[in-house]
Structure 1
Amino acid sequence: MRSLFPVTDQTPAGGPEAASAPALTGVPDRAPAPTADRAPAPTADRAPAPTADRAPAPTADRAPAPADDREWSLDELADWYAYPETDRPVLRANMVSTLDGAAMHEGRSQPISCPADMRIFGTLRGLADAVVVGAETVRQEEYRPARARDAFAGRRAAAGQGPAPAIAVISASLDLDFSLPLFTEPLVPTLVLTGAAASAERREAAEKAGARVLIAGEGRGVEPGRVVAALAGQGLKRLLTEGGPTLLGQFVAADVLDELCLTVSPMLAAGDARRIAGGPRMTLPERFALASVLEEDGFLFTRYRRP
């Protein structure tokens, strides 16, 4: 793996055929690849300059690129993708897309992914306080709780984080199987965010299963901006959304997405697969700033953030 941007003294010259590092190894468990709802891609019109209530953007070169003649360690990846140091919540999304814009193949993201993408996926989870996911993804993938990983234990303890990120499920109907391990076997309680008018019976069922219910909307539905505030109110400020596209689209339209980590897969899928984000149409497309690009085996691991 090598850094293409920001350009450093470790960035090899000569284009794609230049010597590249050995493939990443030690692929961690990727969350059951989210399907049609992997994670909506945030694209909301944001102010060109950060304001007082925006989290400061991390510097593009905060972590030096490891040398080309060896693989990147999980610790180096964690430094590279570290959240900005701020007291404000930061919402990051992680998605994968083919060259022609497909966010999945036959309903799953894994066919268009690769081991390095899954390794970065695990690193992003290892840095997060909470992983935000849509109910449809949970239902289709039988989502499991995040696990503790030795590679991130010291870093998480130093940051005052729990052993693993909490999974935060967004659901208006609370039509969820509360007998799943996600609710019965988590290291840290699973969170369920819903609206104030959601079924009292289903809320009680969630709490009996061990989940913590948070209200993030006045009606039955959830308001994306209130999701971030509700989680921050629980002390969860390093947020990662894994989808799906509907949820990501809502975050984009609500202008609450701070960063997008997008893997560009060197594949063509055609067909009618969904894009990484769906939902409300933006009045004007919002532009994000390129923070970094890593490359391995033709895959590009990009990171964009609000200017």
Structure 2
Amino acid sequence: MQQLYPEPGPVDQPTLIDLYAPPPEPAVRVNFVASLDGAGTLDGRSAGLSGPQDKRVFGILRMHCDALLVGAGTVRDEGYRALRLDEDRRRWRLEHGLSEYPTLVIVSGRADLDPAQPALADAPVRPIVVTTATADTDALPADIIRAGDEHVDLTAAVRQLRERGFAQILSEGGPTLFGYLTARGLVDELCLTVAPLLAGPGAGRITAGPPHDTPEHLTLRHALLADGQLLLRYGR
């Protein structure tokens, strides 16, 4: 892996971990992979766009976060398993004052989740489900955050997560959740892998949902190159 910007040169594992260190202040970071022509998935899943180096960064981002925020559709479509880390990453977290595992936070307006889904049933720490005031959550093996009446209020949800001590929040999507986070001005960083593929028409983008009036400008923090993939980090 090579760094292209801001300082060209080779990147080893310790350097890569430092390059993806979260900002000192609480932040919401979003991680996605996309094709050259803007597709967010191949055959309905993001795995076809990924690769070993993207997965390497994927693991480092999870290692750095306090909470992993994902939409219920992404949990189902991507076949999420329990949020577990390998021994080295757990040791690193403990050595750096973090809990052994990050907490999985699933956003679902109707809370229509399968209690037996591995991301819930096999979680090493009790997950959190963010939902609305009236959703039925009795069967879910999770703590519940209620934010909003008919629709999830993500601003209120992030505030409640902060109150629980989750300063660094990582979101892996899906596109609708990313779109709403953007619309609410909650995205502080985007880590984007650009895969060297032309997916062709049909696949959706990495963001979805209703349009919002004001585009947000982000600044490039670094650019890495590995196996033909560009790994980019942007921030406010």
Question: Which range is displaced more, 152-161 or 91-100?
Answer: 152-161
Q: Are 2:19 and 1:80 aligned?
A: yes
Counterpart contact for 2:45–2:77, Cα < 8 Å: no
Map of 1:254 onto structure 2: 184
How far off its partner does 1:163 sit? 1.2
Give 1:295 deviation, angstroms: 0.5
Task: Tell me which of 131, 135, 144 is aligned to 1:213.
Answer: 144
Give, in whole Å, the separation in 2 of the partners of 1:257 and 1:93: 7
Q: CA deviation at 1:82?
A: 0.5
Taking the TM superposition and a 5 Å limit, the aligned residue runs for 1:226-237 are: 226-237=156-167
Provide the rounded CA distance (Å) in 1 between the counterparts of 2:220 and 2:61.
18
Deviation of 1:259 after TM superposition, in Å, equals: 0.0
Structure 2, gaps ≥5 residues long: none
Provide the secondary structure at the position in 1 that maps to 2:156.
helix
Aligned-pair identity (%): 40
Match of 2:138 in 1: 204
Q: CA RMSD in A?
A: 1.4
| CA shift for structure 1 position 242 | 0.3
What is the match of residue 138 of structure 1?
Answer: 75
How high is the TM-score relative to the length of structure 2?
A: 0.95
Count of aligned positions: 236
SS at match of 1:203: coil
- C-alpha offsets along residues 199-225 of structure 1, whole Å, 9 cap, x if unaligned? xxx31111xx2x1011122x1321121
Q: Which protein has the bigger strand share? A: 2
* Counterpart Cα distance in 1 of 2:204 and 2:78: 17
What runs of 5+ residues in structure 1 fail to find an aligned partner? 13-67
**Alpha-carbon displacement from aligned partner over 1:145-199 (angstroms, at most 9, x marks no partner):** 211322223432244322111110000111110012222221111110011122x
Q: Distance in 1 between matches of 2:43 and 2:129?
A: 28
Q: Quick one: which of 88, 91, 95 aligns to 1:151?
A: 88
Is 1:305 aligned to residue 235 of structure 2?
yes
Alignment partners' CA distance in 2, 1:305 and 1:203: 35
The answer to whether the 8 A contact 2:91-2:100 is kept is no
SS in 1 for 2:166: coil
**Correspondences of 1:258-297 after superposition (within 5 Å):** 258-297=188-227
Q: 1:192 aligns with which of 129, 139, 154?
A: 129
The whole-number CA distance in structure 2 between the counterparts of 1:127 and 1:190 is 17
